[in-house]
Amino acid sequence: MKTVLITGCSSGYGLETARRFLAQGWNVIATMRTPRADILPSSDRLRVLPLDVTSPESIAAALAQAGPIDVLVNNAGIGAIGALEATPMAKTRQLFETNTFGVIAMTQAVVPQFRKRKSGVIVNVTSSVTLAPMPLASVYTASKMAIEGFTASLEHELRAFNVSVKLVEPGYGPTTRFAQNTEIRLEDVIPEPYAAFAQPILAAFAQPQLVTTEADVAEAVWRAANDESGQLRFAAGADAVALAE
């Protein structure tokens, strides 16, 4: 029976992905900054562990408790929208600490066991902003684009050890807690000179033609984790699939 460790399982994509792997009979280690076992099905194949991907000590402690794993899903992330000139550098650094450095740190911590065992899969969840430019998301896009390059390069590096590295690229999911995870007010990040430019964009966000669901992402992560074709990128959701074509 295989074991998957998933980061960012308190809501959204991570929570649904944990449910999907449990339903498929896997051992699941669901991690989150504040552990809550009640949001997942009761199972003797489930462990919920505390993890802050921005803390080396937290990463080491979680992996020590987890023991050997077969798949790492780097899902934890935070969002941000707004004009660049209104985005504080502290917010930019926060985004990169979680979305970029957190993914790299988790991956670096897990690679030795995969390399020695000559098996394992790393799935990095990015975003469809890496597939097509999206306005008012420059810093968020940069944090995710960095992981696209990181993953593509690492895939070559680890292939010799029979370790797979994959990308899952979710589209726009208004039903997720992405907006809540931005921790900002729109009026703070869209100054008056940008208001006319931003208005139709925000209106389109409010009424998207195509959307991505949590189930779409869980399915894409599941396919990526079990893929044997060598495919690197897995678009998740109808809008992301359309952009990837």
User: Which CATH number characterizes residue 121's domain?
Assistant: 3.40.50.720
Rounded average pLDDT over 230-244? 94
If one counts every other C-beta atom within 10 angstroms of the C-beta of residue 192, the result is: 7
How many separate domains does the chain show? 1
For residue 222, the enclosing domain spans 3-244
pLDDT tens for 178-195 read: 444 445 566 678 888 999
For residue 228, give the amino acid letter.
Answer: E
The answer to whether 69 and 3 are in contact (CB under 8 A) is yes
**What does the pLDDT read at residue 176?**
52
**What does the pLDDT read at residue 181?**
47
pLDDT tens for 20-69 read: 999 999 999 999 999 998 999 999 999 999 999 999 999 999 999 999 99
Q: At what angle do helices 138-159 and 89-96 cross, to 10 degrees?
A: 30
pLDDT tens for 71-128 read: 999 999 999 999 999 999 999 999 999 999 999 999 999 999 999 999 999 999 999 9
Please say if the pLDDT value at position 8 is more than 50: yes
Look at the alpha carbons of 100, 103, 109, 110 in this order and tell me if their dihedral is positive or negative: negative
Rounded average pLDDT over 201-215? 86
Q: Which residues are catalytic?
A: 140
When the pLDDT of each residue in the chain is averaged and rounded to a whole number, the result is 93
The answer to whether 213 and 221 are in contact (CB under 8 A) is no
